[in-house]
Chain A
């Protein structure tokens, strides 16, 4: 009985009711409008820490950090908001943050590699539904067509072929999305200045410096160091504390 009682208490302590969450959200918004950005940030963070971090909370939190010029957390929460829903206001604030960011990555063809851009262009749930429907339809029709007399196979054959082509295409896009989400780790630089070393050791010389708000890819991990890669191929090692993964 006692463990159940404590688990109920714990559940209550770690989750706000929708009314409580809305009240906190409104308090944070009020603090923001009064330019009390520190209070606004703390209040939004409470919601995030309690797992109630929808795109709206993350967007407002990123905006509150952007208002104080803290580019590291601003970009981090705005990127997390963008992962949940692509919206104009999120993109506008991300652009604003990028304009203020100190680093200019020279020679980068695009902020994101091709596969990542393709993955971001499609809704994965929609792809999954299209794939399942066309896959079932295509294979079912294939079996059905096989049993039809030869004179009646043409129409069924064409529908089968169309379904299977659509299934393969949506399956490939879905596979790309799965691959990207499983292999690509992105992070945002948090401190004002982060020294990136040539190797994963304390005595390693500094390769270059990056600044708060820069989005990087994490390609390797070694002890307390992460190997970071910039869109132009420049890479080096930095301590884990220096970045927050998306």
Chain B
């Protein structure tokens, strides 16, 4: 409950007046109210002394919804003397009772210079709900508006300029009275198919920054069309129970009930940010639930039961009525009015068997007029006569139920008479194409559009697909095998070197490796000008290799001794000859002129590599 007992200093400009002249009283605009009613309490202070302090009544049983003040000054002429300035201060409070019973509004107290004035306490009888219309609202209605007094003068309260003129005055909720969400229907009863407008409005006495989310209820039992969804918050001043609020339209939807009975619309919800910048707060508000009594359409004793609801006007016109055989014409059937255009069932154009009427193309154009949904549906038929003569396309009829009059009505068109003359070639009859002909050209095209569903598959494989290869049990072992084998090979070699580093096999391998390294070193000297060094390196490589393979010293052996040793090792004649030739080449390269050119050296190193390779493969 708002604090009402806080002292208020009265800063009066008037000169101090005699205490005896102080006028001080309080009045309520009603003595019988309901718990849902608001009422006004007015405290009047006339000619208060300077520095006077007013203490408002502090009724626990009432809630103060708003407070305002006004000042009135008047000048009264004295009898032959100077006039007197009278100052009247009015404090207007809007209250609402918390409970039922006879409640008391305590006295207001005015103090100045040690003196105290008190008003009379007021008795208010409170009953449950609403008791009577707000007299302040009635008073506003009784007074002619400025607009009626001054026609043409801009009227700021013109209902047509408000975004939601039919929105009824809501009840102020007991909690969240500063900011609340209200939903309303413009009718409490409607026929099936009749438009009912749902409006969702925020009422606020605080600054709004934005509406972050709006959850509209599920509109079961309704066909719904959006009428207005503002992209920006636009406030309108509204008095709710005598309390000024800013009202913001959130959504407006046209609902068309599709079944009879009592339909309930659940509460809409919204997340709203109040304040600005760093003072912003996000709050969640829930609107009220709504119910609508939906009446079934009354039965039509004189005709078929209507499926169309609203106010509709049907018209039909042909592009031309005097035609030659083979010339297609266009018949445009227009349905216009108010109601749920999308749910309309317009009549189909029929004609005699000599006239082919093709499937129409339909165009809908929705419109909103005075908050009511409506629009225009145009169906364009292409009509082609198959023989000469006069043919009549019968008039069309659209029965509908008009909820405004509560009666079944019907809109009709006149029949269209076609006069078909022989074609330019003199033909009096023709075949009718099955597809729609073009209006501009009698030669029509068979339009083939790749829209809609494609064909089914007429054969099927029922085999469930096998799991992918990577998920089969053999895949991981198969992928790891070469890697494991390679690593094992390397590891075993390393292990062998560690366990038996001086074994004959290890020594042989090391020497062979050293020999190959020497050959690589010789290869590096290939392009340098050091001929002697190059051939010495090649010779060393070959001898090192042979020492490693034969497991004995071969340096210093004569060629026949070396040949004998190689033969004893099992080297065949070709290999032996190749090795001896390489050694001879090295001797010549070191001592004989003409071996220093690059080609000779390349040949020498190729021969050495071939000899070593041949010996290894012997």
* A contacts, CB < 8 Å to B: 16, 18, 21-22, 25, 29, 32-33, 47, 51-57, 59-60, 63, 66-67, 84, 89, 92-93, 96, 124-125, 128-129, 131-132, 135-136, 139-140, 142-143, 149-151, 174, 177-178, 181, 193, 205-206
Q: Interface size on B (CB < 8 Å)?
A: 35
Name which residue of chain A comes closest to B520, CB basis.
A150
Question: Lowest 4 A-B CB distances belong to which pairs?
Answer: A56-B460, A128-B469, A52-B462, A139-B482
Q: Are B460 and A149 touching (Cβ within 8 A)?
A: no
Q: Are B475 and A128 touching (Cβ within 8 A)?
A: yes
Say which one of B139-147, B344-352, B451-459 lies at the interface with A.
Answer: B451-459
Question: In the assembly, what is the distance between CA of A37 and CA of B506, in Å?
Answer: 81
Name which residue of chain A comes closest to B466, CB basis.
A125
Which B residues touch A143, using CB under 8 A?
Answer: 486, 489
A-B contact pairs, 16 of them (CB 8 A): A29-B456, A54-B465, A60-B456, A63-B453, A67-B453, A84-B465, A89-B455, A89-B457, A96-B453, A125-B468, A132-B479, A135-B482, A139-B482, A149-B612, A151-B606, A206-B215
Contact status of A56 and B453, CB under 8 A, knowing A125-B468, A128-B469, A140-B482? no
Query: Does B516 belong to the interface (CB within 8 Å)?
Result: yes
Q: A51-B464, A63-B454 are in contact. List 17 more A-B contacts (CB 8 A).
A: A21-B462, A22-B460, A25-B460, A52-B462, A52-B464, A56-B460, A57-B460, A89-B457, A93-B453, A124-B470, A136-B482, A139-B482, A139-B483, A149-B613, A150-B520, A151-B606, A174-B470
Name which residue of chain B comes closest to A192, CB basis.
B218
Question: In the assembly, what is the distance between CA of A67 and CA of B456, in Å?
Answer: 11
Q: Are B609 and A149 touching (Cβ within 8 A)?
A: yes
Which A residues touch B485, using CB under 8 A?
Answer: 139
Query: Does B519 belong to the interface (CB within 8 Å)?
Result: yes
Which B residues touch A32, using CB under 8 A?
Answer: 456
Q: Is the interface of A mostly helix, strand, loop or mixed?
A: helix
Query: Does B478 belong to the interface (CB within 8 Å)?
Result: yes
Q: A46 to chain B: closest CB distance in Å? A: 12
Q: Are B479 and A131 touching (Cβ within 8 A)?
A: yes
Q: Are A128 and B470 touching (Cβ within 8 A)?
A: yes
Query: Does B461 belong to the interface (CB within 8 Å)?
Result: yes
From A18, A140, A178, A205, B462 is in contact (CB under 8 Å) with A18
Name which residue of chain A comes closest to B483, CB basis.
A139
B residues 504-520 with Cβ under 8 Å of A?
Answer: 516, 519-520
Q: Are B457 and A56 touching (Cβ within 8 A)?
A: yes
Question: In the assembly, what is the distance between CA of A31 and CA of B564, in Å?
Answer: 96
Which B residues touch A53, using CB under 8 A?
Answer: 462, 464
Question: In the assembly, what is the distance between CA of A140 and CA of B489, in Å?
Answer: 12
Q: B615 to chain A: closest CB distance in Å? A: 12
B residues 255-270 with Cβ under 8 Å of A?
Answer: none
Binary contact readout B457-497 vs A (1 if CB under 8 angstroms, 0 otherwise): 11111111100111000010011001101100100000000
Q: B222 to chain A: closest CB distance in Å? A: 15
Which B residues touch A181, using CB under 8 A?
Answer: 468
Q: Are B454 and A92 touching (Cβ within 8 A)?
A: yes
Question: In the assembly, what is the distance between CA of A135 and CA of B479, in Å?
Answer: 7
Q: A142 to chain B: closest CB distance in Å? A: 7
Which B residues touch A60, using CB under 8 A?
Answer: 456-457, 460
Q: A43 to chain B: closest CB distance in Å? A: 12
Question: In the assembly, what is the distance between CA of A18 and CA of B461, in Å?
Answer: 9
Binary contact readout B47-86 vs A (1 if CB under 8 angstroms, 0 otherwise): 0000000000000000000000000000000000000000
Name which residue of chain B comes closest to A32, CB basis.
B456
Question: In the assembly, what is the distance between CA of A22 and CA of B485, in Å?
Answer: 50
Question: In the assembly, what is the distance between CA of A28 and CA of B335, in Å?
Answer: 42
Which B residues touch A174, using CB under 8 A?
Answer: 470
Contact status of A54 and B453, CB under 8 A, knowing A124-B470, A135-B482, A149-B613? no
Q: Are A59 and B457 touching (Cβ within 8 A)?
A: yes
Name which residue of chain A comes closest to B460, CB basis.
A56
Binary contact readout B95-135 vs A (1 if CB under 8 angstroms, 0 otherwise): 00000000000000000000000000000000000000000
Question: In the assembly, what is the distance between CA of A10 and CA of B458, in Å?
Answer: 29
Which B residues touch A25, using CB under 8 A?
Answer: 460, 462
Question: In the assembly, what is the distance between CA of A174 and CA of B478, in Å?
Answer: 15
Contact status of A66 and B453, CB under 8 A, knowing A128-B468, A149-B613? yes
Contact status of A124 and B469, CB under 8 A, knowing A54-B460, A143-B486? yes
